[in-house]
Structure 1
Amino acid sequence: MMTFHMKSTVPILRIFDEAKARDFYFDFLEFKCDWEHRFEPDLPLYMQISNGDCVIHLSEHYGDSTPGSAIRIEVDNAKALQEHLLAKKYNFARPGFDEEWNQVSITDPFGNRLHFYSAKPKEIS
C-alpha cells in the first residue's frame, strides 16, 4: 500500500469587494499580500495573503469557495489577539472571546468565519 505525506492546507475564501477585503485582512488582521493575479485587469482578483505561518487565498472568482465558510487558525495567545483587535476599534467587528474553546471568532465582510484559537495546556493529573 502506498502512503502519501500530506502537507499544510491553504483555504480559499470567497470575497466580493476588493477594498473591503484589503481593509479587513490587511489593516484589521494585519495580513500581508504575497501575490495577486487577474487574467485581465478587469477580471476577478485571486490573491494569497499571509501572517506568520498562516496562508490564505482570497478569490473573487465564482465557484472557488462558498460564502460563509469557516476556518480555524492556531495562534500563540488568542486572548491577547482579541485584546489587540479590540484596541483597534474597527468599525465592523468587536470580537469576543470564548473561554471554553480558548478562541476569538471574527466574521469577515463576506460571511466567512475565522476562529483564532490557542491550544490549551494539558491538565496534569
Structure 2
Amino acid sequence: MREEVIPVLRVEDASAAVAWYERLGFVKQWEHRFEPGFPAFVEVARHGVRLFLSEHEGDARPDTLVYLRARDVDAIAAEFGVRVEDAPWAREVELRDPDGNRLRVGTPRE
C-alpha cells in the first residue's frame, strides 16, 4: 500500500462540486451515502491526486486552502478566466470552488 494524504473538503451540493472539479480535470471515482437522501461523500481524482468532497457537517471547514501542483496551469487559467501569477517557485492561479474552498494551482518553475 502506498501511503498518501487525501484532503477532505466540505461541500453543500456534491453534484455541483463534482461538476466544478471536473473543469479542473478531476474525475468522479465513487459516491457513498448511508441511505438514500443522506449526505454524500465523494472521491474525485486527477493524475493520481485525490480529494474527498463531503456533504457531512463537521467533516471539514469552509475556506480550506489546498495546493495542487499541475503541469497545465495555463490551461486551467484559461478554463476559469483568471490570470496566471508569477511567483519565484511556480506560475500560479488561485480559485474558489462553489463552497468557498480555495485551490492554489501551480506549475513549478524548472
Question: Normalising to structure 1: TM-score of the pair?
Answer: 0.77
After superposition, the C-alpha distances for 1:67-114 in whole angstroms (9 at most, x for unaligned) are: 11010011113224323x14xxxxxxx322111241111100100001
Gaps of 5+ in 2: none
| Partner residue, 1:108 | 97
More strand per residue: 2
Is the partner of 2:108 in helix, strand or coil? coil
**Whose radius of gyration is greater, 1 or 2?**
1
1:76 aligns with 2:65: no
Deviations 1:21-65 (A, max 9, x none): 132112x22311111100001100001000111100000000100
Maintained 8 Å contact 2:29/2:42: yes
Find the residue that maps to 1:118 and give its secondary structure: strand
Among 41, 51, 71, the alignment partner of 2:36 is: 41
Query: In 1, Cα distance between the equivalents of 2:20 and 2:72?
Result: 20
Give structure 1 stretches of 5+ with no counterpart.
1-5, 87-93
Query: Residues of 1 paired with 2:3 and 2:15: CA distance?
Result: 32
Q: How many residues align?
A: 107
Give the ranges of 4+ consecutive aligned residues of structure 1 lying more than 6 Å apart after TM superposition.
none
Is the contact between residue 96 and residue 105 of structure 1 (CA under 8 Å) also seen in structure 2?
Answer: no
Q: What is the aligned partner in structure 2 of residue 63 from structure 1?
A: 58
1:13 aligns with 2:12: no
Name the amino acid aligned to 2:97.
D
Identity among equivalent positions (%) equals: 29
RMSD of aligned alpha carbons: 1.7
Residue 117 of structure 1 deviates from its aligned partner by 0.7
Q: TM-score, normalised by structure 2?
A: 0.87
Task: Determine the C-alpha separation between the residues in 1 that align with 2:76 and 2:11.
Answer: 23
